[in-house]
Homo-oligomer: A and B are copies of this chain.
Amino acid sequence: MDYLAKLPRVFQPESVVVIGASNNPDKLGYHVMKSLVQGGYPGRIYPINPNASELWDLPTFPSLDTVPGDVDLAIIVVPAQLVPGVLEQCHKKGVQGIVLITAGFREIEDPAGASLQERVREMADGWSLPIIGPNTFGFVNLTTTLNASFTPEFSLVPKGGVTLVSQSGGFCHLSAFRAMEENVAFAKIIGLGNRCNMDFSDILPYLADDPDTRVIGLYIEGMDDPRRLLDAAGQMRGRKPVIAYKAGRGETGDDASRFHTGSLAGRYEIYRGAFRQGGILEVGDTEELLDTAKALDSLPPLHGNKVAVLSSQAGPGMIACDICEACGLRLVEFSSRTQERINELLPPLAIRTNPVDMGPAWYSPRAIIGIMEAVIDDPNIDGVVFLAMYASANVALGGEMRKYWEERKPSTKPLVACFSAPSPIWTEDVKLMDRTKGMVFLPTPERAARTMGNLWRQTMLVRNRRQNG
C-alpha cells in the first residue's frame, strides 16, 4: 500500500489520537485538543497522556497500544527525541498517517536535527507511512470539521472549495485570517512543514481526486526537486486550477529558506519555468493568491477575453480599465441590442459604451441593475467587472441588487465586483451575494480587475494544455 492510498484516511479519518495531549495552555498539546474538540470533529478522539485520566471531557489513554479499535490519524506533539519511538508505536497500531507538529528537525542549525529527520523518514518510508511535517501546525479539513492543528481559529475559516498547501505555517495563518475578513472559502489548509516524506508533489495527486477541493493554492519556498512538482501538476491534466505563490525570490529569501525548512529556495527562474510548463497559475502576493482562488472556486469559467467594465462612478471604472488592458482583456463593443437597452436606461450625458459610466444613474438601482442585466446577457461579452461605491445618497443599491440576484438564475459568465460602502451602512447584502450566482466581491477595483485577468490566464493555461495534448 503506497502513501497516496492512505491519504483519504489521513485527511478524513474516523479516529484521531493526540500523542502529547495536554490540559496546560502553555503546551501545544492543549491547543491541538482545543482545535479537535471545539472544532466539532465528529469522529473518535483519543488523547494520549500517561499523567491524566481525562482531558477536555474525554477519557485519556496512557499509551497508544491501550487505545481500543483502529486509529487513522495520529497527531504528535511530543519532544523531538521521543518521535522515533512514538512512530514505532504508530506503525504497530496500524495508524494510516501522521501529523508531526514537533519541531527540532532539519530546520535547526544543529546537524542533529537533520539526522533525526532522516532517521524518521527512513522509518516512515519502510512502512509507507505518510507524515505531514515535522515542524508544522498541522492541517484543517473544513468540510469534515476536522481541525488537526494547534490553531483552533482555523475552524472559523469559511467553508468552500479552495485547498491551500503551504511550506509556511505563518502563511497559512495569514491566509486564514485574511480569508475570514474577505470571505475566501477553504476545503483544507495543509502545512507541509519540513516535508519529511509528504511534499507538494505527493499531496497533489490526492487533491486531484479530492471531491471537496476545486482549486489548489500552493505557497512554495523551496523544493529539493521542482521537476517533481511539474510532473505532479502535469498528471492533473488541468482538471483543477493550481495557483502558486513562490517566496524566496531574492538572495535573502534563499538564505532564510535554507534555515526555515531546510532547503534552498533555488533560482526563481527554475520555478517560473516549472509553473509555466506544468500549467500552474503563478501569482505575486498573498492578496492575489486569495482573490484568484476565491474567484476560481466560485465563478463559471471566463470563456474569452472580451469583458465589460460597468461602474457607478467613472474613476474606479478607469482604474479597472487600466488593469484589464494590462492583463490582456479587451473592452469590446456591446451588441446593438445591449447598446439600445443601455441607451434607454442612461441619459445622453455620459459614456454609454464599454466601459459604461453609470454615474448619471448612480442613485437608481433599477437602471444600474438593468444595465448589468443587459451586459451579462450580451453574447459579445465573456465577463463583467462591476464597480459601485455607495453611501447615504445611493444606499438602496446593495439591497436592490441582492433582491434581484435572489430571484435571478446564476450567471453563466463570471462577474467580479467591488461594492464599497462604509461599515455603518454596510448591510449583509454584499456578504449574502458574495460567492453566489456567479459573482464574487473584492475590496478594490484593481483587485477585481486583476482577478478577472487571472481568470483569463487560467483559461489560456487550460487551452494550451489541451492543445499540447
A contact residues vs B (CB 8 Å cutoff): 26, 28, 31, 34-35, 103-104, 107-110, 113, 150-153, 156, 166-171, 173-174, 176-178, 180-181, 219, 221, 247-253, 255-257, 259-261, 265, 285-287, 311-319, 321-322, 324-326, 331, 348-351, 355, 357, 359-360, 363, 387, 389-393, 418, 420-425, 443-446
Contact = CB atoms under 8 A, between A and B. Distances in A.
Nearest to A251: B325
B178 A420 contact: yes
Given A170-B311, A247-B315, A256-B314, A177 B286 contact: no
Given A287-B446, A325-B252, A425-B153, A110 B319 contact: no
A332 to B, nearest CB: 11
Contact of A389 (B28, B170, B324): B170
A285 B320 CA distance: 10
B316 A174 contact: yes
A319 B34 contact: no
A391 B151 contact: yes
Contact of A178 (B104, B150, B153, B443): B443
A446 B173 CA distance: 15
19 contacts: A150-B392, A153-B391, A168-B316, A170-B316, A170-B359, A170-B387, A171-B315, A171-B316, A178-B420, A178-B444, A252-B322, A252-B355, A256-B355, A256-B357, A260-B314, A260-B350, A260-B357, A265-B318, A285-B446
User: Which of A167, A177, A180 gathers most chain B CB within 10 Å?
Assistant: A177
Contact of A315 (B178, B219, B389): B219
Of listed A109, A170, A286, A391, residue having the most chain B CB within 10 A: A170
A409 B320 CA distance: 43
A423 to B, nearest CB: 6
Contact of A109 (B150, B176, B348, B359): B348
B348 A393 contact: no
Contacts of A319: 171, 247, 285-286
A251 B168 CA distance: 41
A171 B317 CA distance: 10
A175 to B, nearest CB: 9
A250 B323 CA distance: 9
A322 B253 contact: yes
A325 to B, nearest CB: 4
Given A174-B445, A260-B314, A443-B178, A322 B391 contact: no
A392 B151 contact: yes
Contacts of A349: 103-104, 107-110, 113
A219 B318 CA distance: 12
Contact of A177 (B35, B259, B420): B420
A360 B326 CA distance: 43
A178 to B, nearest CB: 7
Contacts of A251: 325
B392 A31 contact: yes
A156 B109 contact: no
Contacts of A350: 107-109, 259-260
A104 to B, nearest CB: 7
Q: Which 8 A-B pairs have the closest CB atoms?
A: A168-B315, A170-B313, A260-B314, A173-B389, A250-B325, A259-B351, A153-B422, A170-B315
A259 B174 contact: no
A391 B152 contact: yes
Contact of A153 (B321, B324, B392, B443): B392
